[in-house]
Structure 1
């Protein structure tokens, strides 16, 4: 499916970006793809122009199964378009939107660096840190801590079903950081040895809660019960206009997840891969602080930032 029925395929372009650059975050890839849509289309009226971009955004969201991160990037781009459309003609809006989108892509990496800089004072010598899955922004923070000659140890959750924690462990070993991979089910077992917990985020919702790799919620519950600080790291472009009240309010929810089986001969390995959730929601009361490129925040500060962005 193409963005406007022509030759340009926004979904293919997005997947090519992600395949060529594994370090690119999904919101950034989404914005880059929509910039390309704007460059390719030649609408003559503002309404046609906005309709094409919105349609391309919707196609991209659907193709990525309503990915929280992709939706966040698309929404940032659409909000920028809405701002520019009020005071300018089509050509001026197109040029300004391309410029704004390219600037966002170029500065996105700086956001990750700023998060690492802001969070680094919380990593101290002789700490034992627990991280969940693989997060680029957390790895950036730990890279910075190593460069500052801090000595610490890291437990990494295996993070099923894709076992992405193994990637984080390999990267930490290359940095010379002592680490160990723990089973997701063993988080409670090792929590008393941990000084702090660090997690990334697919999205930060209006309440200040997190949408992240499945297993984050149970980790947060155990951390709170053990009175361990639970810190979340996220770039501000991952703030999303969602207000889930439960695990089943997420855009990625499917009614067939974890459906009971009533017959034999089930391939349980396939079942684990295909019919389990990949994300969960962690309510704000379990989060100690958020480290963002806008500064250190309590969860309640997220709503204020979203209001500033969307009502500015």
Structure 2
């Protein structure tokens, strides 16, 4: 049902443990497009719709914590269902994927501008992991002439925080790079914490492991904690989050140790009431505001089984 070339794209997405949500969403859109572009694509509309539905489900299963992979497929299926009479499925697929990706690109700049407005001269901002949207917000504040400093965590096991620190430093922003565990001792010097998001749902914020601990500590110390993300990261209450399987133990320790199990998890869940707010393109949503947004998301029937 899923073309061979499309399956290869899905497996590439499944194996990718470095790319952010935006990059993975571009790959997911290409996978959906490859279904209608395949030389052996079904001529029958019903079979083609089944293939697109199966591909959308496979993309979700490939990276189940990445909300945009759900939303790009979910939006496509709803759009196909309501397409004008006579409009071809390939045309609708191309238009829907283009619209979704364009919305992500545009929202990133708006989110960055809104977050940058929360940065004041002399502030210290802490980051965790390497959200592209957070980085864009910091670059925006720098271009606006604001003077501030960053405390960045290394973000083990892949250390993407190191790459972010290097990039910020090259942009002229003063950065202190810390181990993840050392971040808590520095919170007294911090006024804001900015993180990205892989998804936001009634179950909480899914982001890089360590986010939960920082959010709990920040709330206890009165430090503002914001997640920066577009609506493509939002999931409805009915979305079932599968448990995250442990990742490659060698990313933490290569040595084999008797009676020791190495658990390597990339993500954790932070309850929404531990957040100060979620910064979106249009506004800053409080935990109470978020519930109305979740309620408006309907899961297409092809993705419910």
Q: Structure 1-normalised TM-score?
A: 0.81
Gaps of 5+ in 1: 259-263
Query: Closer, same or farther in 2 for the Cα pair 1:255/1:90, shift >3 Å?
Result: farther
Does residue 54 in structure 1 map to residue 53 in structure 2?
Answer: yes
1:66-105 matches, cutoff 5 A:
66-69=63-66, 71-86=67-82, 88=84, 92-105=88-101
1:296 is matched with which residue? Answer: 284
Q: What is the distance in 1 between the residues matched to 2:29 and 2:289?
A: 25
Please state how far the C-alpha of 1:91 moved relative to its aligned partner. 5.2
Q: What is the distance in 2 between the residues matched to 1:58 and 1:255?
A: 22
Gaps of 5+ in 2: 250-254, 301-305
SS in 1 for 2:296: helix
- Determine if contact 1:27/1:74 at 8 Å carries over to the other structure: no
SS in 1 for 2:298: helix
2:233 is matched with which residue? Answer: 238
1:9 is matched with which residue? Answer: 6
Deviates more, 1:186-195 or 1:216-225: 186-195
2:117 is matched with which residue? Answer: 121
1:181 is matched with which residue? Answer: 177
1:185-196 matches, cutoff 5 A:
185-196=181-192
Q: What is the distance in 1 between the residues matched to 2:65 and 2:297?
A: 18
* Residue number among 212, 218, 231 corresponding to 1:217 in the alignment: 212
- Determine if contact 1:10/1:34 at 8 Å carries over to the other structure: no
Deviates more, 1:90-99 or 1:159-168: 90-99
2:159 is matched with which residue? Answer: 163
Query: Closer, same or farther in 2 for the Cα pair 1:300/1:80, shift >3 Å?
Result: farther
1:254 is matched with which residue? Answer: 245
Q: 1:228-281: per-residue Cα shift (whole Å, max 9, x none)?
A: 11011012101123579xxxx8424238999xxxxx95189x965xx2211000
- Determine if contact 2:209/2:266 at 8 Å carries over to the other structure: yes
SS in 1 for 2:158: coil
Q: 1:53-75: per-residue Cα shift (whole Å, max 9, x none)?
A: 1211233334x3x3321x53233
Q: What is the distance in 2 between the residues matched to 1:90 and 1:303?
A: 37
